[in-house]
């Protein structure tokens, strides 16, 4: 799609001026644009892609879908929208998710303020003018008083710097930069590197299309059955009739899903009753076996191990070759310490004659060659290599842009040892710069909407009180970082080498990137800060 934003009066220097610039037209960015525009601001949204959707625009790989219940992932701000949209599947697939976000963009006439194909290279704060100067790769410059980074938490793709990576003569793709046209795998020898949530969605589908698939696994995960299904007409009608109830249930639950933890201590329950609960949870769809399980499986080593062993046995039961099964069984990290991938026929893929699992802890990848992948053991030849190797999560999408605040300090330098914010939303020394991404441990849209509304209200407050800029105090920031670290120390979420703590990227500082408190606690802090006149923030 071409740039569709209407032309805006420019200054003499040819720089376009706005009240606010929103970077990103994904779930958060679209809503942020809508809210700020509704509040009377002149807004421009700039988007790297050629269409709306963010995560659901970029991640087009086969099998990409929600792991959240569809009816909990859509926006809640418009009852009309909820009534107009029909979810086809309980865990909706990428094509439909992208269609949904396009439907939203059209319904609220958002496109007229979005410019596509616009990669932001820098955003520099002009202290004297109190304006953010945003540079687009094509040379265009925009300025605004307020800058909102709605860049997503998993949008900065990570491709490991394997030696020889550019020498490969076949096709290669990172899952989050998948082509719009269908990739034809017929008769091809294909490699997948990585076995995270993305690969687990992709592998069973690609396995059925290729001549041969080789999966290079470093760390096996505790994958759990998604149990997706089509949404019947009756269920659709029930969603529409009960959206308020569904939302309230999500709001009151610890992670924004329509289920809650069992508050009994796992090991205080008899083994027979425990097993019965595990089996019951296992038979249900979605994250319930993680986030509807005993609460202390996320905090108590013995409780965790009890459920982890249950999951390991589920894996063993599905994989025919016991040697392959053992390679797929995670043993080096607690259940739930890494994101639990939800799967459909993932383990059965390894029962196919045309699928091979290579454990790269046993035989590490040494290099990519013109023909394929060379491990310490041998060279494998491929027509296609798929990098399902994840993201420079949470901080990467922002630190990859040259963002400079007061005193020309860069965000990248400031965050060298991990993100420093208050509430995940603003960082000291970067006035009027807001981060509209959900970094709470919370079903994405459930908390993202609240974040967007907080930012909108905050900007409204600044303007209403005849102030011009707002940023957190260094003291409030120090306290928030300490609080995030403290919250993270009480849960296994921070105990494995994963993107939750930046350990998936060599050289990236180990830091707690997610706010590992409950979602209601996070939203209460948002509300409390605003109610106290933006306590911890300095308005000038």
By the criterion CB under 6 A, which residues form the site for ligand NA7? 154, 160, 193-199, 218-219, 339, 360, 365, 388-391, 499, 504
Residue number, 102 or 389, with CB nearest to ligand NA7: 389
Residue number, 219 or 495, with CB nearest to ligand NA7: 219
Residue number, 219 or 253, with CB nearest to ligand NA7: 219
Q: DSSP secondary-structure letter at 335?
A: T
Residue number, 459 or 512, with CB nearest to ligand NA7: 512
Question: Token pair 């509300």 is at which residue?
Answer: 527
Minimum Å distance from CB 142 to ligand NA7? 30
Distance separating alpha carbons of residues 204 and 352, to the nearest angstrom: 10
Beta bridge partners of 537: 472
Residue number, 54 or 194, with CB nearest to ligand NA7: 194
Phi, psi angle pair for 224, to nearest 5°: -125, 150
Residue number, 167 or 248, with CB nearest to ligand NA7: 167
Residue number, 102 or 155, with CB nearest to ligand NA7: 155
Residue number, 224 or 365, with CB nearest to ligand NA7: 365
Q: CA quadruple 84, 88, 93, 99: dihedral positive or negative?
A: negative
CA angle 299, 302, 308 (to 5 degrees): 90
Residue number, 36 or 215, with CB nearest to ligand NA7: 215
CB of 439 within 8 A of CB of 501?
A: no
Distance separating alpha carbons of residues 111 and 105, to the nearest angstrom: 6
Residue number, 218 or 463, with CB nearest to ligand NA7: 218
CB of 372 within 8 A of CB of 191?
A: yes
Distance separating alpha carbons of residues 114 and 111, to the nearest angstrom: 5
CB of 133 within 8 A of CB of 126?
A: yes
Coil vs helix vs strand at 268: helix
Minimum Å distance from CB 185 to ligand NA7? 19
Minimum Å distance from CB 8 to ligand NA7? 35
Coil vs helix vs strand at 234: helix
Q: CA quadruple 100, 106, 110, 113: dihedral positive or negative?
A: positive
Which residue's CB comes closest to ligand NA7?
196
Coil vs helix vs strand at 33: helix
Minimum Å distance from CB 91 to ligand NA7? 13
* Cα R_g (the chain), whole angstroms: 23
CB of 171 within 8 A of CB of 181?
A: no
Count each helix (H run) and each strand (E run) in the chain, helices first.
17, 20
Phi, psi angle pair for 384, to nearest 5°: -140, 135
CB of 341 within 8 A of CB of 290?
A: no
Residue number, 21 or 388, with CB nearest to ligand NA7: 388
For residue 40, give Cα distances in angstroms to 114, 242, 294, 356, 459. Answer: 16, 32, 47, 57, 11
Residues 6+ apart with CB under 8 A from 497: 219, 333, 503, 504
Residue number, 279 or 379, with CB nearest to ligand NA7: 379
Phi, psi angle pair for 421, to nearest 5°: -145, 175
Do you know the residue count of the chain?
540
Minimum Å distance from CB 446 to ligand NA7? 15
Minimum Å distance from CB 158 to ligand NA7? 7
Minimum Å distance from CB 26 to ligand NA7? 13
Minimum Å distance from CB 196 to ligand NA7? 2
Minimum Å distance from CB 162 to ligand NA7? 7
First to last CA, the chain: 40
Residue number, 388 or 493, with CB nearest to ligand NA7: 388
Minimum Å distance from CB 191 to ligand NA7? 11
CB of 22 within 8 A of CB of 150?
A: yes
Minimum Å distance from CB 199 to ligand NA7? 6
Minimum Å distance from CB 109 to ligand NA7? 30
Of 20, 32, 4, 6, give the one whose Cα is nearest residue 123.
20
Minimum Å distance from CB 438 to ligand NA7? 11
Minimum Å distance from CB 217 to ligand NA7? 7
Residue number, 390 or 419, with CB nearest to ligand NA7: 390
Distance separating alpha carbons of residues 398 and 435, to the nearest angstrom: 9
Q: DSSP secondary-structure letter at 375?
A: E
Task: Give alpha helix (H) positions in 59-176.
Answer: 70-73, 79-84, 94-107
């Amino acid at each position: 799609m071409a740039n569709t934003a209407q032309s805006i009066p420019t200054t003499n220097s040819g720089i376009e001026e706005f009240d606010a610039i929103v970077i990103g037209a994904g779930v958060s960015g679209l809503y942020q644009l809508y809210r700020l525009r509704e509040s009377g601001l002149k807004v421009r949204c700039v988007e790297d892609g050629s269409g709306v959707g963010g995560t659901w625009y970029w991640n087009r790989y086969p099998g990409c879908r929600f792991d959240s219940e569809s009816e909990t992932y859509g926006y809640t701000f418009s009852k009309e929208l909820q009534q107009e949209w029909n979810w086809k599947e309980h865990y909706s697939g990428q094509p439909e998710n992208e269609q949904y976000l396009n439907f939203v963009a059209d319904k609220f006439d958002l496109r007229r303020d979005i410019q596509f194909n616009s990669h932001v290279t820098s955003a520099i704060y002009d202290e004297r003018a109190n304006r953010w100067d945003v540079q687009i790769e094509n040379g265009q410059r925009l300025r605004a008083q307020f800058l909102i980074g709605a860049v997503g938490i998993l949008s900065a793709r990570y491709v490991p710097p394997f030696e020889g990576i550019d020498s490969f003569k076949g096709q290669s793709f990172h899952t989050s930069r998948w082509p719009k046209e269908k990739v034809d795998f017929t008769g091809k020898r294909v490699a997948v590197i990585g076995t995270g949530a993305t690969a687990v969605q992709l592998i069973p589908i690609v396995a059925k299309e290729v001549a041969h698939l080789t999966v290079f696994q470093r760390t096996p995960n505790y994958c759990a059955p998604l149990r997706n299904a089509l949404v019947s007409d009756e269920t659709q009608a029930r969603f529409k009739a009960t959206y308020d109830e569904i939302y309230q249930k999500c709001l009151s639950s610890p992670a924004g899903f329509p289920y809650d933890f069992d508050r009994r201590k796992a090991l205080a329950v008899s083994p027979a009753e425990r097993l019965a609960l595990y089996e019951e949870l296992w038979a249900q769809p979605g994250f319930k076996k993680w986030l509807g399980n005993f609460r202390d499986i996320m905090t108590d080593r013995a409780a965790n191990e009890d459920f982890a062993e249950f999951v390991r046995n589920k894996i063993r039961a599905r994989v025919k070759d016991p040697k392959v099964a053992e390679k797929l069984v995670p043993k080096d990290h607690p259940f739930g310490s890494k994101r639990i991938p939800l799967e459909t026929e993932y383990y059965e893929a390894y029962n196919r004659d045309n699928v091979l699992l290579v454990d790269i802890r046993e035989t590490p990848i040494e290099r990519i060659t013109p023909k394929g992948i060379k491990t310490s053991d041998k060279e494998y030849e491929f027509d296609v290599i798929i990098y399902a190797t994840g993201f420079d999560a949470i901080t990467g999408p922002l630190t990859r842009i040259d963002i400079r605040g007061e005193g020309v300090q860069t965000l990248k330098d400031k965050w060298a040892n991990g993100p420093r914010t208050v509430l995940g939303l603003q960082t000291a020394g970067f006035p009027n710069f807001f981060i509209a991404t959900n970094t709470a441990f919370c079903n994405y849209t459930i908390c993202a909407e609240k974040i967007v509304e907080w930012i909108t209200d905050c900007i409204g407050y600044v303007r209403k009180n005849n102030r011009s800029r707002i940023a957190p105090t260094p003291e409030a920031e120090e306290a928030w970082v300490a609080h995030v670290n403290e919250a993270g120390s009480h849960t296994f979420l921070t105990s494995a080498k994963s993107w939750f703590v930046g350990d998936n990227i060599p050289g990236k500082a180990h830091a707690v990137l997610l706010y590992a408190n409950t979602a209601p606690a996070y939203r209460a802090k948002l509300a409390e800060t605003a109610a106290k006149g933006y306590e911890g923030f300095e308005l000038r």
